[in-house]
């Protein structure tokens, strides 16, 4: 699918890596979104390192405000209204992350694009996550189902 569209897919995942089925589904959702929005000649990179799965692309990305809303059901960017979809993919990804005790965040890629980051081991959350809940624009949920603004999204 990526080669036919002229988009490069790069994988940096250990060969013997094992991840929960929910994490594989979340990666599938992120990859499906990336193929919709990354233009010809673009790149999508999948990495798994130290319990963090990241799907990063160099597409148009989302604004800070859009990232804070994008995990909601039926949310669609006004800029992408002409792209097929239901607006449920990232909401499903957020629910799957909660179900497997992981944290899901949407981050900006530099210089442009989107990073979908899944932290598989949230038993010892990064102390910086508390800052994220204070409204840095890094949308996501923690294992308690709280979005980064501290609002219960369940």
Q: What is the span of the domain harbouring residue 109?
A: 2-141
Provide the pLDDT for residue 122: 65
Average pLDDT, the chain: 82
Instruction: Classify residue 68: in a domain, yes or no.
Output: yes
Instruction: Classify residue 147: in a domain, yes or no.
Output: no
22: which residues sit within 8 A by CB, 6+ positions away?
96, 97, 99, 100, 102
Instruction: Classify residue 129: in a domain, yes or no.
Output: yes
Q: In what order do the strands lie in the sheet with 103-108?
A: 8-12, 43-49, 52-57, 114-119, 103-108, 139-141
Residue 23's domain is classified under what CATH number?
A: 3.30.565.10
Comparing 70 with 82, the larger pLDDT belongs to: 70
Q: How far apart are CA 63 and CA 113, in angstroms?
A: 10
Provide the pLDDT for residue 9: 97
Instruction: Classify residue 14: in a domain, yes or no.
Output: yes
Q: Give the mean pLDDT of 53-64.
A: 96
Instruction: Classify residue 37: in a domain, yes or no.
Output: yes
Instruction: Classify residue 107: in a domain, yes or no.
Output: yes
The pTM score is 0.77
Q: Answer yes or no: is pLDDT of 133 > 80.
A: no
Instruction: Classify residue 153: in a domain, yes or no.
Output: no
What share of the chain has pLDDT > 90, as a percent?
62
Query: Comparing 62-71, 98-107, 122-131, which segment has the lowest mean pLDDT?
Result: 122-131
Q: How confident is the model at residue 33 (pLDDT cuts 50, 70, 90)?
A: very high
Instruction: Classify residue 96: in a domain, yes or no.
Output: yes
Q: Answer yes or no: is pLDDT of 147 > 60.
A: no
Number of domains observed in the structure of the chain: 1
Provide the pLDDT for residue 6: 94
- Residue 125 token pair: 């959350």
Q: Give the mean pLDDT of 81-105.
A: 92
Q: Answer yes or no: is pLDDT of 32 > 80.
A: yes
């Amino acid at each position: 699918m990526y080669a036919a569209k002229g988009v490069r897919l790069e994988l940096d995942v250990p060969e013997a890596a094992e991840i929960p089925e929910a994490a594989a589904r979340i990666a599938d959702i992120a990859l499906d979104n990336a193929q919709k929005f990354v233009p010809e000649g673009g790149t999508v990179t999948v990495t798994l390192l130290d319990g963090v799965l990241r799907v990063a692309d160099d597409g148009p990305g989302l604004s800070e405000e859009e990232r804070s809303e994008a995990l909601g059901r039926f949310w669609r960017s006004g800029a992408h209204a002409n792209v097929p979809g239901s607006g449920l993919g990232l909401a499903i990804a957020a629910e799957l992350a909660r179900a497997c005790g992981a944290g899901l965040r949407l981050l900006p890629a530099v210089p442009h694009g989107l990073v979908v980051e899944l932290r598989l081991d949230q038993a010892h959350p990064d102390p910086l996550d508390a800052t994220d809940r204070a409204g840095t624009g890094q949308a996501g949920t923690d294992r308690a189902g709280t979005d980064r603004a501290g609002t219960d999204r369940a």
